[in-house]
Each structure stands twice: as C-alpha cells, then as structure tokens.
Amino acid sequence: MDHRFVICIRNDDYPAALEKRKIYELAPDEGDARHDQIRVIDDSGEAYLYPADYFIEVSHSKEAEEAIIQAA
C-alpha cells in the first residue's frame, strides 16, 4: 500500500494539534477535497480534517516512504 505524506506549513487555528515543518500521513477520504480539507493523522494517532492549505504534499521515493513509516 502506498502512503501519502504532507508537510505542515501553517497551524494558525490548530497550534496544539499541528506542528509546522512536520511530516504527517494523509488518511484516505474522497469527500473532503471538495470542501478544501484533507484528513491527516495527527500526533494523537487519529485522523482529523484540517484545511488543505495548511499542508503541501511530499513527493518521495519508496525508500523514503519506508524510512518514514519505520520512524513513526
């Protein structure tokens, strides 16, 4: 299974839940894009909706993906 990751670039309304410059995993959720939100697995280990413009998607190699997953 391929994992998708994003980097947090803003946390204006969620400073306790999101850390700028931190990598987060996207949780699959097809319906959220139309509301300009994405579902992100945050530090609690749960998936929550956040504004999509708080993140940028990360392109990575398979080796980087495995290293990120192992580090979690």
pTM: 0.78
**C-beta neighbour count of 54 within 10 angstroms:** 21
Counted domains in the chain:
1
- Domain of residue 59, CATH code: 2.30.30
pLDDT tens digits along 8-59: 999 999 999 999 999 999 998 766 566 789 999 988 889 999 999 999 998 8
The whole-number pLDDT of residue 18 equals 94
pLDDT at 72: 65
* 66, 2 Cβ separation under 8 angstroms: no
Domain span at residue 25?
5-71
Closest CA to 20 of 50, 46, 47, 45: 50
Tell me which of 64 and 24 has the higher pLDDT.
24
